[in-house]
Amino acid sequence: MAFIIYGEILYIVAFIGNLLLKNRTDITLYKFVIPIVVILLVIGTYFKKVTVVKEYEINSEGKFKKPINIALISDIHLGYINGNSSMENLVKKVNSLNPDLVLVAGDTVDMHLKPVIEKNMLENFKNIKSRYGVFINIGNHDIYGGKVKEFTDRLNSYKNINVLRDGKILIDDSFYVASRDNYSKQPLSEILKDSEEKPVLYMQHTPDTIDETVKNKVFLQVSGHTHRGQFFPGSLFTKKIFKLDYGYKKFQDTNVVVSSGYGTWGPPIRIGTQSEIVLIKIK
């Protein structure tokens, strides 16, 4: 897929370049297309394989009793391409951050649950260490395979793992973790009912309802989904589609963090983006 996309783009560039250089040189730009595509794919594979930790510091403005470190993961896309080795590296990276809380903002599974179950990929989550546990949101790819209930039941059977579906849970009598499934019709106001007295950490896989989050005075929303375009020029489109397609931004009293994700959809490459885990430090 990536070879075809970049091959077509560079072929068009070479075609235009040859027209501009016509009668000026005997060099044909077409012969550079395939070598450049190969170089791009090698670079893209590197940025998919090498995961960075992106850090954000957020002032709690007195809303939290004590500082809290949150490890945010999104878009793992476990399946035929991203497997146990990818999960093992993820677990090591997350544990090295000593998080108080781990939030997984959707698309844990690429689509098909079969290879994930056959190779026991979900069991890797049991090795993640955090004070308050791991909370998992349902993304669009988790739903596509039609096995979301089996996926949820398996993960919820593990200690300290909670797939939170259209609900909230009070942590340490200090703050709430809330989550809404992708494509859910449940209004956020209903999910957050009676939570006004404490700050809310909210997981929404697709960052397309930020206005609703702000209206409900959520302290922090974490999302994924966009992959930051995954490979250029995808980022040009995600920036147009979403109010925030990547990074951190504060909207009135609501903090929003959108991750480019850990894994990949489709081709296992990233160009113009990089595999990441996000560390959010609430001061």
Please report the pLDDT score of residue 65 as a whole number.
87
Q: With beta carbons less than 8 A apart as the criterion, state whether 55 and 86 touch.
A: no
Residue 64 — very low, low, confident or very high, per pLDDT cuts 50/70/90? very high
Q: What is the pLDDT of residue 2?
A: 85
pLDDT band at 26 (very low <50, low <70, confident <90, very high): confident
Q: How far apart are the first and last CA of the chain?
A: 43
- Residue 266 confidence (pLDDT): 86
Average pLDDT over residues 219-244: 95
CB 137 within 8 A of CB 204: yes
- CA distances to 39, 77, 94, 118, 231 from 3, rounded to whole Å, are 11, 21, 32, 30, 12
Q: Considering only CA atoms, which of 45, 40, 49, 47 is closest in space to residue 5?
A: 40
The pLDDT of residue 22: 79
Q: How far, in Å, are 77, 105, 138, 180, 264 from residue 225 at the CA level?
A: 11, 8, 11, 14, 10
Distance CA(244)–CA(228), nearest Å, equals: 10
CA distance 124 to 140: 22
pLDDT higher at 220 or 26: 220
User: In the 3-class helix/strand/coil scheme, how is 50-84 assigned residue by residue?
Assistant: CCEEEEEEECCCCCCCCCEEEEEECCCCECCCECH
Q: Name the pLDDT band for 28 (thresholds 50, 70, 90).
A: confident
**Three-state SS at 30:** helix
User: In terms of Cα–Cα distance, which of 273, 215, 216 is closest to 239?
Assistant: 273
Residue-wise pLDDT for 204-225, tens only, equals 999 999 999 999 999 999 999 9
Q: Is the pLDDT of residue 197 over 80?
A: yes
Residues 124, 115: Cα–Cα separation, whole Å: 14
Tokens 């009668």 — which residue?
23
pLDDT of residue 29: 87
DSSP string computed for 118-182: HTTGGGGGGG---SS-EEE---HHHHHTS-HHHHHHHHHTSTTEEE--SEEEEETTTEEEEEE-T
Q: What percent of the chain has pLDDT over 90?
A: 86
Cis amide linkage into residue 267, ω under 30° from 0: no
Does the domain at 50-282 match CATH 3.60.21.10? Answer given as yes
Residue 79 has pLDDT above 90, yes or no: yes
Averaged pLDDT, 141-149? 93
Residues 86-125: tens digit of each pLDDT: 999 999 999 999 999 999 999 999 989 999 999 999 999 9
Residue 161 has pLDDT above 80, yes or no: yes
Q: What pLDDT shows up at residue 263?
A: 95
Beta strand pairing status for 254-258 and 220-223? parallel
What is residue 5's predicted lDDT score, i.e. its pLDDT?
86
